[in-house]
Chains A and B, each alone.
Chain A
Amino acid sequence: METVTDLLVAEDLQAYYRYGMSGWIRAVDGVSLHLREGEILGVAGESGCGKSTLAMVLASIARWPLCVRGGRLLVDGREVPLRVGQGDASHRGTMVSMMPQGAMNSLNPTQRVRDFVFDVLRSHDPTVTRQAAVQRARERLEKLQLPERVLDAYPHQLSGGMKQRVVAVISTLLNPRVLIADEPTSALDVSAQRALLALLAQLLVEGIIGGIILVTHELPILRNVASRTMIMYAGQVSETGPTEQVIFEPAHPYTRALMDATLVLESATKRQRIEGLEGSPPDLSRPPEGCRFHPRCPHASETCAESFPPTLQPGTDHTVACWWLADRLEPSRPGSGVTAVEP
């Protein structure tokens, strides 16, 4: 699927956390993905599935004890160094920028927002004047319907929603090609969520940013904003495809379980039991053999516990790694290119 028009291509990323003297926690283990120009790619999964680690690797801000062990990242066809300290830092914030999860802890508590903005811009462009920096931030804030006085405020004087929007403004200030947004909406109420996502979409439409990778565990959000969705489980990709297909015709049992556990806004759901997902993701220092989902999978067979599932293509642009699906899809069926992938 990777073509020259892809904005971002990641190949076989491996990022492990050092654990103890010789252990590794395989938080991202062989993840490949691609992002097209103008697209929002959603990344979903439970906590502990490596979503945030993937975000850190893509933004090339992985730091000890997180070690990038392998893989390649290309943005606009240009290779981006994955390890901190490797190459220069000019790509940061301009090619790939990260919008971090905890807006509460991302601002400097002793700096006014305007000083922070100036510091960010100056570190990338030493010639920028204070006025120009503040003017740029002011224009962005206006788009988010934030009052100008935010610039003169200290972080503790802002509400959680305001802080999140300020962080959104700062992380897109350098017009990055790709924005990695890690759970940007989790601390916001519904109206602020919509405002924030509308801003990100507007930046995308105006071409200020080239594409967005949106990490979240809220499937309803992805359904409304993401054109493609990738489901992660235990550090690996279990399903990728057009959002409507992944959400409404999930092929992987894990995606199905996630969908079944999702609350839907409609009056008929009152007190109707929704079954959550039992158990929790595996310990990634000793991930299960074979398919990593097999201990929790209702369709698990012996094959699932023994060998890594093949990557199947049940539809256009739709890939699934699952043995159960492989048994149901005839290998001869056109479009179902059964290709085994080594772990």
Chain B
Amino acid sequence: MTDPGTRTGASEAPVLRCVDLSRIFGQGKHAVRAVDDVTLELQRGEIASVVGESGSGKSTLARLVLRLLEPSAGRLYFHGEDVTRLRGFARRKAYWKHVQAVFQDPFGSFNQFFPVRSVLRSALRLESHLSAAERDRRMWAALESVGLEPGSVLDQLPHELSGGQRQRVMIARAVMVQPELLIADEPTTMIDASSRANILNVLLDLNRDRKLTILFITHDISLATYVSDTLFIMQSGQVVERGPVEQVTRAPEHDYTRQLFADTFSLHGEAWRPARAEGAP
């Protein structure tokens, strides 16, 4: 396959490159442009966050990149290779060896009747050439890399794990096939604030140790500024602002970005106290 996505002069093609990617749901009057001409690039080892409110098209973008949805227009390149049209399940499976995802609800991602061991095993079907011993080794290594004790976790059922542990098993499942790109779609939304930091630290460690490229999808801009190198702010399907995280946080240019920062509850500065007008001390 030719390399139309490779930039001339660049030593390495970006891991992911979307060019004018669009997805329209519905037809005619009711058509919704969920993702509208999105162009973005992710270099190897980069953590980029897509931030926007509910309904801004973040998750649709994630599903397009995962090739779970067909784009209506635009092109998608993975390491310079055009993956916009992947015909047949076999070719998608081959793609998912390199691109994996973690979703919002760690409980919904499990079959609750199967222990962690079978959840992880089923993911290893993507690596059918491995021997049984090698598969076991991968499972142990993956669980250890997310800070879980494989000996005790492997035989537990999903309901026996806490929310944070479940999400860590999901991350282990995703990184077990040694992908290059991990799409994390709101991975901490349903997790307690106290274990949220642990999940983020796991992702940061994987990024550092394995050069894992991460596309982080979130509505929480403080989370995004904490983990990422690059921010993409999305509104109504379009990327309205993009840039290195320092630049966007220091001098946001788009009104919507400023609004996001203003609306986020902070521990610093003047407290908002909407009810202070009366009664409350």
Contacts and interface: CB of A to CB of B under 8 A. Distances in A.
Contacts of B279: 36-39, 204-205
B204 A47 contact: no
B35 interface: no
B260 interface: yes
A220 B265 contact: yes
A275 B197 contact: yes
A270 B274 contact: no
A219 B192 contact: no
Contact of B193 (A261, A270, A271, A278): A261
A166 B163 CA distance: 28
B194 A190 contact: no
Given A264-B268, A273-B201, A194 B193 contact: no
Contact of A218 (B259, B265, B281): B265
A258 B275 CA distance: 25
Nearest to B228: A270
B88 to A, nearest CB: 34
A247 B267 CA distance: 9
Interface string A182-226: 000010111111100110111011000000000001111101110
Given A160-B54, A220-B267, A38 B194 contact: no
Contact of A192 (B53, B194, B199, B228): B53
A269 interface: yes
Interface in B175-217: 189, 192-201, 204
Contact of A265 (B162, B200, B225, B250): B225
B55 interface: yes
Nearest to A271: B204
A205 B275 contact: yes
A191 B277 contact: no
B222 interface: yes
A223 B197 contact: no
Contacts of A161: 54
Given A219-B267, A225-B272, A261-B193, A267 B278 contact: no
Interface string B242-281: 0001100110000000011101111110011111011111
A39 B280 contact: yes
Contacts of B245: 267, 270
Nearest to B222: A265
A263 B163 contact: no
B226 A276 contact: no
Interface in A116-134: none
A225 B221 contact: no
Nearest to A204: B275
A46 interface: yes
Contact of B54 (A189, A224, A272): A189
A220 B263 CA distance: 12
Contacts of A192: 53-54
A317 to B, nearest CB: 9
A272 B197 CA distance: 11
A274 B273 CA distance: 27
Nearest to A198: B274
Contacts of A275: 197, 201
B167 to A, nearest CB: 12
A274 to B, nearest CB: 4
Contacts of A221: 265
B227 interface: yes
A189 to B, nearest CB: 4
Contact of A193 (B192, B195, B265, B274): B265
Contacts of B277: 205
A262 B162 contact: no
A285 interface: no
B23 interface: no
Contacts of A276: 164, 194-199, 201
Q: Which 5 A-B pairs have the closest CB atoms?
A: A38-B279, A201-B274, A276-B197, A276-B198, A265-B222
Interface of A: 36-40, 46-48, 159-161, 186, 188-194, 197-198, 200-202, 204-205, 217-221, 223-225, 227, 242, 244, 247, 257-258, 261-267, 269-278, 280
Interface of B: 53-55, 162-165, 189, 192-201, 204, 219-223, 225-228, 245-246, 249-250, 259-261, 263-268, 271-275, 277-281
Given A220-B266, A221-B265, A265-B225, 10 more contacts: A36-B279, A217-B193, A258-B193, A263-B193, A263-B196, A263-B226, A267-B245, A267-B249, A270-B228, A273-B201
